[in-house]
Amino acid sequence: MPSETPFQINIPDEKLGILRAKLELATFPDELQDIGWRHGAPLADMKRLVERWKNGYDWRKYEKELNQELPMFTRDIDVDGFGALNIHYVHKKSETVDAIPLLFCHGWPGSFIEIRGMLPLLTASSPKHPSFHVVALSLPGFGFSEGAHRPGFGLDQYAEVTHKLMIALGYNEYVTEGGDWGFLITRRMAAKYGGKHVKAWHTNFPMADPPTWKSPLSFLSYLLTPYSAEEKAGLERTAWYRDKSSGYFVEQSTFPQTLAYGFTDSPVALLGWFYEKLVIWTDDYKWTDDEALTWISIYWFSRAGPGAAHRIYSEVYGDFYNLGRTSYPTIPMGASYFPKELLLLPSAWLRRLNNVVIESHHKSGGHFAAYERPEELTEDVRKMFAKGGPAFAVVPGKSGYA
């Protein structure tokens, strides 16, 4: 396998200057009176953030913090039919020799930064809980990974490049955790590489189709069993997302190139598109301005450019709503439910066709659970693989304990 290269984020001064120059030329729209968040990011918030990005925000400070906290590397990974892609990833080993190899897979509008809070927790050694060797890649086209250069890079290819990265790192057997697109990708990995390589998978974005008449008993139970209060709230949240917050999905999955012109030329356009989702997709998470700007700056400075990452919606669209017509993984699965996730479906739907061995239901938390609630999600993962847990020692010779 090609060797890895240590990586440090080091954005050229020229790019920082271009960003500031573009922000200096920003022109803002008007806004209807008392509209709040009903039409998207409020004008006052946008003006404040642009001013901060332009005249107070210190990218070099946060660049240095990321470099110090996250051991990063790049490596070429060959993808069948697409050649070699240079992939950026975080890789931190636990001091516990028998730690469990774990792949963390992000989605959109996230990035490798989502592992930041969980990384020291997952790699920590203790006789009280399992420890993990953690790999968190930037998906192709995201962060500092090279993107695909021609169409057809679908879910199989995302699964392939991610699996091959783990093999290249010497992790022939491993487990996964993913949210958003990370759920779809690790699910495909569990189906394709499960048993031999992927030993178990965990998600904080549990999606499943409702029962149908093709499974008469499940369908009858579905019709006769009343929803719990939590399930009713989850379905209401799902309906809100479908009716009020999913317009981006239609545009990104149909004409991503059209959006790319705005995202690539205008940092204000990128900021508005992302900041809206950071706020309304979380559970009252208290974003600082610098925190949000760092998240969005990773996209602005990304290797493939700010107009590349959302192409995943167009390339993988058919797989997103095709859950019921693809093979289901049989390896152990864990699921975490957070009340402000975007799609919250009854957990019985997931258990119907997946080998769910553990599930956790939380009182708070939203779409970016790894970032919003790192302690809670880490604890869920630990419980799954702990001594006495349903997936203890699922990776041969890697119990997670000294």
Q: Which active-site residues does the annotation give?
A: 180, 313, 367
Do the beta carbons of residue 201 and residue 329 sit within 8 Å?
yes
Q: Residue 33, CB half-sphere, CA atoms under 13 Å: how many?
A: 0
Q: How far apart are the first and last CA of the chain?
A: 29
CA dihedral 16, 109, 139, 153 (to 10 degrees): -110
Do the beta carbons of residue 313 and residue 109 sit within 8 Å?
no
Structure tokens at 302: 């990304």
Evaluate the omega torsion of the peptide bond into residue 109 and state whether it is cis, within 30 degrees of 0.
yes
CA-wise closest residue to 149 among 141, 157, 159, 160: 141
Structure tokens at 79: 């993808």
Placement of tokens 């917050």 in the chain: 245
Separation in Å, CA 288 to CA 60, 267, 279? 17, 18, 11
- 358: Cβ–Cβ under 8 A, 6 or more apart, which residues? 334, 335, 380, 383, 384, 389, 390, 391
Q: Residue 224, Cβ neighbours under 10 Å: how many?
A: 7
